Amino acid sequence: MAEINHFEYGWITPALSYALSVLGSALGLVCAGRIRTATGAGQRAWWGLLAAWALGGTAIWAMHFMAMLGFAVVGTRIRYDVPLTAASTAIAVAAVGLGLAIVGTGRLSAVRLIAGGLFTGAGVAAMHYTGMAAMRLDGILGYDRARVALSVGIAVVAATVALWLSMTVRRGLAIAASALVMGVAVNGMHFTGMSALSVHPHESRGDLSGTEVSGLLVPIILAVVFGVVGLVYALLAAPTDDDRAGAAYLDSRRDGLPEVATAQPAPDPVGLRARSTLGQPGTPFPSRRDTGRR
């Protein structure tokens, strides 16, 4: 078997992967909290999509790719199949979105939570091994079945806990603590699955197909940066509970005000307005000649 190095650049890649998983988890929990306070189906779908991208795209898939930057096999180069890599991203986002849809519709129950955790955990595991299948190198990949099963179990448990936290956690300190725990779970699942891998080298068979990691690094980093900025902007631009309460208070005060009465002319007790012809449109100005005739 070929020698495998999971930390080619030391602790830089695992530290960055953990930071990404914590950041994505925190943003995902905040977005999931907005699902509960959404007033319509469109708003719930919008926040569900953002939460799925934050959890599936940033906390899980971007963490996976960052950790893979430190993966190396002695004696061979590694390339990645772009369509399979993109498919692994879609699997992660879709799995988290499906889990949120299961637990977020109707009243939260144990049955919904377990079903959502199973679907999401299986999707996260599928994302991981799809991403591994996208690797192209001079060797054959093998897996230890017991460790693969353990990684899938960790993914299901982590997904169930994440879905439960997304539906129950609301305060800032609790969200931060939950994100730290979720980061440990996501990284634990990844490196457990990586420990099950073995590579059996063979002779080089020409140029490897696919793209080197350097060719994927820039677009993925840009996608993560713009995705995080977009999530933060959406959270800052959306009205909070205090904003909605203030708007409701102003509406109630506005509804309680009496209607403005129509302006009425000032009273004329001695009838001067009726006797006077001055100031009325179309009335000629009187002269002395007219007065003498009278």
pLDDT tens-place string over residues 117-128: 999 999 999 999
* pLDDT at res. 190: 92
256 vs 214: which has the higher pLDDT: 214
Query: 59: pLDDT confidence band, cut at 50, 70 and 90?
Result: very high
Q: Look up residue 51 and give its two tokens.
A: 């939460």
pLDDT at 34 over 60: yes
Find the helix packing angle between 12-37 and 82-104, rounded to 10°.
Answer: 40
Q: What is the pLDDT of residue 94?
A: 93
**Residue 206 pLDDT grade (very low, low, confident, very high; cuts 50, 70, 90):** low
Whether residue 22 is predicted with pLDDT greater than 90 in this model: the reply is yes
228-238 pLDDT, tens per residue? 888 888 878 77
Asked if residue 226 has pLDDT above 90, the reply is no
The average pLDDT across 197-223 equals 79
Largest CA distance in the chain: 132
Of 4-13, 35-44, 133-142, 155-164, give the lowest mean pLDDT range: 35-44
Backbone φ, ψ for residue 206 (5° rounding): 95, -165
User: How far apart (Å, rounded) are the C-alpha atoms in residues 202 and 205?
Assistant: 8
**Distances from the Cα of 222 to the Cα of 142, 218, 219, angstroms:** 33, 6, 5
Residue of higher predicted confidence among 268 and 213: 213
pTM: 0.76
Task: Read off the pLDDT band of 140 (50, 70, 90).
Answer: confident
- pLDDT at position 41: 81
DSSP-based three-state secondary structure for 212: strand
pLDDT category at 21 given cuts 50, 70, 90 is very high
Query: From CA 198, how far away is CA 200, in angstroms rounded?
Result: 7
Q: How are beta strands 72-73 and 4-5 bridged, if at all?
A: antiparallel
Q: What is residue 143's predicted lDDT score, i.e. its pLDDT? A: 93
Asked if 16 and 147 touch (Cβ cutoff 8 Å), the reply is no
